[in-house]
């Protein structure tokens, strides 16, 4: 069944800010996943984390982010830590 007919991305507002919790992040690989408060988990790459220097996330951290269309699907962008 084609992906578009599944309606997976039709309920996502690209560009809107969302909140979530880091599910896992592998610093050596530079990516991980965020559990969205409003939907399924979403991919995050270290380049999408706001800040200077070594950008990394840790399991359980609360973050705010926007959703963007990446090369392989939806991904988190402008990821910002909201709780230390």
Per residue in 50-71, pLDDT (tens digit) is: 988 889 999 999 999 999 998 9
pTM over 0.85: no
Dmax over CA atoms of the chain, in Å, equals: 43
User: Cβ(63)–Cβ(21) under 8 Å?
Assistant: yes
In order of their start, the domains of the chain are 3-81 (2.40.50.140)
| Tokens 């050596």 sit on residue | 28
Q: Residue 36 corresponds to which tokens in the numbers above?
A: 């969205």
Q: Residue 43 corresponds to which tokens in the numbers above?
A: 């991919």
Q: Region 37-59: what's the mean pLDDT? A: 93
Work out the number of other CB atoms within 10 angstroms of the CB of residue 6.
Answer: 9
């Amino acid at each position: 069944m084609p992906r578009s007919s599944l309606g997976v991305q039709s309920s996502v507002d690209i560009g809107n800010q969302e909140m979530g919790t880091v599910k896992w992040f592998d610093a050596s690989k530079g990516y991980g996943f965020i559990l969205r408060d409003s939907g399924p988990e979403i991919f995050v790459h270290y380049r999408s984390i706001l800040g200077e220097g070594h950008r990394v996330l840790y399991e359980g951290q609360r973050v705010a982010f926007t959703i963007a269309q990446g090369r392989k699907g939806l991904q988190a962008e402008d990821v910002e830590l909201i709780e230390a």
